Amino acid sequence: MATLEPVGALALPEVPQLGEPIHKPLSDLEVKLEANRCLYCYDAPCMRACPTHIDVASFIGKIATGNLKGSARVILEANPLGASCARVCPTEELCEGACVYKKDDTPIRIGDLQRYAVDYVRNNGIDLFTPGRPSGRRVAVVGGGPAGLSAARDLRLFGHAVTIFEAREQLNGLNTYGIVPFRLDYDVALWEAQQVVNLGVEVRAKTQIGVDVSFETLSQDFDAVIVACGMGNVPKLGIPGENLSGVWDALDFIQRAKLGKSLGNLGNHVAVIGAGNTAIDALTCAKRLGAERVTMYYRRGEDQMTAYEFEYEFAKQEGIEFRFFCAPVKIVGEGHVSAVEFVRTEIPKSAGKQSPIQVAGSEFVEMVETVIRAIGQTRLRDVFSAAGIETVDGVVKVDEQLRTTREGVWAAGDCIFAKGMREAMVVEAAEQGKIVARSVDAFLGAAH
């Protein structure tokens, strides 16, 4: 096989901030009060609600006794992505939503305390983990996002050699490139990836499986392969005018904003199509980049929005406008977008979940200079078919141990995330990475 060139320490490029972070770190006083307010419940509901089952009572108790290193260890042992999760987890829906104090509406600020503890090891350069005794087994990980990193971390603790193949320049997937900077700093995402790399993970960056290296090479050269390539771009709307300049894929848009690359002139009015959490990020990002008006257009009603309630609230506070029951039919402009034609929609009254239908003759035109599509993500079907693994609607088919239909190939993260489940989340990807690592370890052990 080709010799692998490990990349050295990840470089931290200078990235401009898109305004104030949403969450400021807690002050020492707040930490003290909050850590002592926790009841340290037994078999705590917060722990059960965390997809990675971080022992919250334990890590908060350790903050209270000043054992910050121990606290961070409890967090990161259970969740290798603990630094980013502390910032991007929808805690209201997870741990904090389950906290026993929630009844009084004052749950413990678990995410913020988690951030405090992990920042302690981050700021003090403390190493918490050491790789396991070498097993002589080699595992390839396709995709260095949250799922791939989590799997790689635990596989190194088990002593297996790990090579991550990552199409992009930097690791940590959407944490690095997709999550808006006022939620998650670029340097936190890279620090987190670096902790995994430091355990002796070989990284082949800018190496796309299927283009630069074939999947078959991997399955020949490695004892196990983990597919953790996430999802693809935002699909096209399928209406005229989509190729005009000023029409963006939300992920490209956020990525360019995050990396400080030019987005041209956004104009006065930005339209975002879609109503999920990615739409909220695109909306708030555009607003913070200086667009005067930013409007979300959605073909269903407010109640059917897939964005979390608190995300919706946040968008309102940022000054976003909302238009429900309308769908774009045509993007208009000469070279650059100048307007979008919409049609009103309605949901048929009959029972069941219905698709909205267009109301004939209800067309209207909105003057906009930028259009951002945020209607979900495509599936990386090429990778899956090249790997010879079965999919359902573009979602990789796995069993409860996250084995694909092909022996020796596992999958984790957004690529196995099926519609109708809860939102794709970093913390889910982290948990799946752990499950995959255990499953692969059992397989390699048995194969000895």
Partner 1 sequence: MADLRNDLAGIKSPNPFWLASAPPTNSGYQVMRAFEAGWGGVVWKTLGDPIVNVTSRFAGLNWKQNPLIGLNNIELITDRPLDENLKEIRECKKAFPDRAIVGSLMEVPVREKWHELVKAVQNAGVDGFELNFGCPHGMSERGMGSAVGQQPDLIEMVTSYAVEATELPVIVKLTPNITDIRHCARAAARGGAAAVSMINTINSLIGVDLETWNPIPHVDGKSSHGGYCGPAVKPIALNMVNECARDAEVPIPISGIGGISNWQDAVEFLLLGATNVQVCTAVMHHGFRIVEDMTDGLNNYLDSRGIETASELIGAAQNRITTWENLNLNYKIVAEIDQATCIHCSKCYIACEDAAHQCIDRNVVDGTAMLVVDADHCVGCNLCMMVCPVEDCITMAEIETGLPPQTWKQRTAALASTT
Distance CA 256, CA 251 (A): 8
- To partner 1, the closest distance from the beta carbon of 63 in angstroms equals 10
Nearer to ligand SF4, 56 or 174 (CB): 56
Taking CB within 5 to 8 Å according to partner kind, which of ligand SF4, ligand FAD, partner 1, none is near residue 195? none
Distance CA 331, CA 340 (A): 4
Amino acid at 322: F
Tokens of 203: 């990284």
Mask: binding to ligand FAD, 394-413, rule CB under 6 A, as x and -? -------------------x
Q: Which of 151, 411, 427, 436 binds ligand FAD (CB under 6 A)?
A: 427
Instruction: Tell me if 273 contacts ligand SF4 by CB under 6 A.
Output: no
Taking CB within 5 to 8 Å according to partner kind, which of ligand FAD, partner 1, ligand SF4, none is near residue 29? partner 1
What is the gyration radius of the CA atoms in the chain, in angstroms?
Answer: 23
- To ligand FAD, the closest distance from the beta carbon of 374 in angstroms equals 8
3-class secondary structure per residue, 43-98: CCHHHHHCCCCCCHHHHHHHHHCCCHHHHHHHHHHHCCCHHHHHHHCCCCCCHHHH
Distance CA 374, CA 35 (A): 39
- To ligand SF4, the closest distance from the beta carbon of 62 in angstroms equals 13
Which among 38-46, 130-138, 355-363, 368-376 is the span making contact with ligand SF4, rule CB under 6 A? 38-46
Residues 136-165 that bind ligand FAD (CB under 6 A): 142-148, 165
Distance CA 397, CA 416 (A): 7
The footprint of partner 1 (CB under 8 A) covers 28-29, 32, 36-37, 40, 42, 58, 61-62, 64-67, 69-70, 73
Which among 102-110, 129-137, 207-215, 340-348 is the span making contact with ligand FAD, rule CB under 6 A? 207-215
Instruction: Tell me if 257 contacts ligand FAD by CB under 6 A.
Output: no
Q: Which of 45, 132, 200, 333 binds ligand SF4 (CB under 6 A)?
A: 45
Residues 93-122 that bind ligand SF4 (CB under 6 A): 99-101, 108, 110
Residue 241 Rama label (left phi>0; alpha psi -120 to 50; beta): left
- To ligand SF4, the closest distance from the beta carbon of 102 in angstroms equals 8
Nearest to 300 by CA among 239, 258, 354: 354
Nearer to ligand SF4, 47 or 437 (CB): 47
Distance CA 394, CA 392 (A): 5
Distance CA 2, CA 160 (A): 19
Instruction: Tell me if 374 contacts ligand SF4 by CB under 6 A.
Output: no
Instruction: Tell me if 281 contacts ligand FAD by CB under 6 A.
Output: yes
Cβ count within 10 A of residue 75: 28
Tokens of 205: 């960056």
Instruction: Tell me if 383 contacts ligand FAD by CB under 6 A.
Output: yes
Number of H helices, E strands in the chain: 16, 16
Q: What is the largest CA-CA distance in the chain?
A: 70
Instruction: Tell me if 414 contacts ligand FAD by CB under 6 A.
Output: yes
Q: Which of 21, 30, 32, 41 binds ligand SF4 (CB under 6 A)?
A: 41
Angle, in degrees to the nearest 10, between helices 277-288 and 250-259? 40
- To ligand FAD, the closest distance from the beta carbon of 425 in angstroms equals 3
Residues 177-206 that bind ligand FAD (CB under 6 A): 178-179, 183
Q: Across 321-430, where does the E strand assignment appear? A: 321-323, 326-334, 336-346, 357-358, 364-367, 370-373, 391-392, 395-396, 409-411
Instruction: Tell me if 174 contacts ligand FAD by CB under 6 A.
Output: yes
- To ligand FAD, the closest distance from the beta carbon of 242 in angstroms equals 20
Nearer to ligand SF4, 45 or 394 (CB): 45
Residues 6 or more apart whose CB falls under 8 angstroms from that of 399 comprise none
Residue 40 backbone phi and psi in degrees, to 5: 50, 50
Binding footprint of ligand FAD on the chain (CB under 6 A): 88-89, 142-148, 165-168, 173-175, 178-179, 183, 208-210, 228-230, 251, 254, 277-278, 281, 380, 383, 413-414, 424-427, 429
Binding footprint of ligand SF4 on the chain (CB under 6 A): 38-41, 44-46, 56-57, 60, 99-101, 108, 110
